[in-house]
Structure 1
Amino acid sequence: MSVNLAKGQRISLAKADGGSLTVVRMGLGWQAAPRRGFLAKLTAREIDLDASAVLFAGGEPADVVFFQHLRSEDGSVRHTGDNLTGGAGQGGDDESILVDLERVSAHIDQIVFTVNSFTGQTFEQVQNAFCRLVDETTGEELARHTLTGGGPVTAQIMAKVHRTATGWDMQAIGVPADGRTFQDLMPAISAHL
């Protein structure tokens, strides 16, 4: 059963049977919003959204996984590859980041997921955009956060997973920001650690 996450909402990543999740996938999907008018086809551009995961230790960035660095140093976080055009948007993932929670280095206490428009279009020009958390072992969608309607901004700090005394929790952040890369978002991310 999937939870539609609202901004700031937290969910535990513990399984209902008392076990804990071992591998989760943060998926990102989107479509370009249809353009209207006579010149729409001539002026249309593909929209390249990028998913990134910034790993933190004690409030400081320790590693990052994104389209130019597809694997964390410890191998626990892996980006499946850059999608330059989107298109799934209805439920399938256009980009995915896999996190093996059991292999995340002990000093990493938070992983923040971001999405940004590398090509510079705003979220007003994107439809059916979402991020979701999936139990990679079973394929069950655990949580979904809708990104469509994000307004005249080019990025969003989507969510974070963070260590607790009993395992990992996820928190939907859903804060709009501006920037073409995760580096542009670092000042905004720090407010959510």
Structure 2
Amino acid sequence: MAVNLQKGQKISLNKEAGRELSTIFMGLGWDPVKSKGIFGFGGNSPSIDLDASCVMFDENKQLVDTIWFRQLHSQDGSVQHSGDNLTGNGDGDDERITVALNRVPAQVKSLVFTVNSFTGQNFSQVANAVCRLVDAQTQQEVACYNLSVQGTHTAQIMAKVYRHNGEWKMHAIGENGQGRTFQDLLPQILPHL
């Protein structure tokens, strides 16, 4: 059973999954908020392009690699992005970032997952935004984090998956920010490393 994470909460991935995880994916799903038409009828849903990204850091808080819609896999091949969803339409995960934990290079200590509104809408225009961490082998949800905190932010630092004492852990950061891509969030990410 998945843990519903609260902002700031930390969990051990192996403990929550009940076994050692080799491959996980971070799924991001969302829907545009339907606007109300005349007299509350005939509203439409604008396209909202949220982008999931993964930023890899070493022990010294130095950037190692980035995985996002312009670079769909890490240079070492351990992290893969499913591709850019431009609208949020459809059920389930709109974007996925898969991480082969057992293949992440030893010098990488932290993988930080972010979400940005590339089209510039703020989160008050986004509904049902959720980030979930899933055991890729069993498709079992390990942890879930609700991102639908209404507000004027256009980005969020979702979570960090990191090595600690030889095991992988997850920290639900949930910090709001501004920016169209993960680069805009880098100064805000550093204190969380």
> What TM-score does the superposition give when structure 2 sets the normalisation length?
0.93
Offset of residue 5 of structure 1: 0.4
Distance of 1:6 and 1:120 partners within structure 2: 26
Asked if residue 45 in structure 1 is aligned to residue 46 in structure 2, the reply is yes
Query: Is the CA contact (8 Å cut-off) linking 2:35 and 2:43 kept in structure 1?
Result: no
Offset of residue 191 of structure 1: 1.6
Distance of 1:84 and 1:17 partners within structure 2: 32
More helix per residue: 2
Gaps of 5+ in 1: none
Offset of residue 18 of structure 1: 6.2
Asked if residue 35 in structure 1 is aligned to residue 31 in structure 2, the reply is no
Provide the residue aligned with 1:157 in structure 2: 157
Gaps of 5+ in 2: none
- Mean alpha-carbon deviation: is it higher for 105-114 or for 17-26? 17-26
Distance of 2:188 and 2:42 partners within structure 1: 35
Aligned partner of 1:82: which letter?
Answer: D
Provide the residue aligned with 1:67 in structure 2: 69
Report the CA distance shift for 1:18/1:47 in structure 2 as closer, same or farther (over 3 A): closer
Secondary structure, aligned partner of 1:158: strand
- Mean alpha-carbon deviation: is it higher for 12-21 or for 170-179? 12-21
Provide the residue aligned with 2:139 in structure 1: 139
Provide the residue aligned with 2:173 in structure 1: 173
Distance of 1:119 and 1:173 partners within structure 2: 23
Provide the residue aligned with 1:85 in structure 2: 87
Q: CA RMSD in A?
A: 1.9
Query: Is the CA contact (8 Å cut-off) linking 2:33 and 2:45 kept in structure 1?
Result: no
Query: Is the CA contact (8 Å cut-off) linking 2:17 and 2:135 kept in structure 1?
Result: no
Listed as ranges, the matches of 1:97-136 within 5 Å are 97-136=97-136
Distance of 2:15 and 2:77 partners within structure 1: 24
Number of residue pairs aligned between Structure 1 and Structure 2 = 191
Distance of 2:134 and 2:63 partners within structure 1: 25
Report the CA distance shift for 1:44/1:30 in structure 2 as closer, same or farther (over 3 A): closer
Report the CA distance shift for 1:157/1:128 in structure 2 as closer, same or farther (over 3 A): same
Secondary structure, aligned partner of 1:186: helix
Listed as ranges, the matches of 1:178-189 within 5 Å are 178-189=178-189
Provide, for residues 73-126 of structure 1, a one-character-per-residue CA deviation record: whole Å limited to 9, x for no partner: 11000001110001246xx10000000000000100000000000000000000
Provide, for residues 101-153 of structure 1, a one-character-per-residue CA deviation record: whole Å limited to 9, x for no partner: 00000100000000000000000000000000000000000111101124111
> What TM-score does the superposition give when structure 1 sets the normalisation length?
0.93
Report the CA distance shift for 1:41/1:119 in structure 2 as closer, same or farther (over 3 A): farther
Report the CA distance shift for 1:168/1:41 in structure 2 as closer, same or farther (over 3 A): same
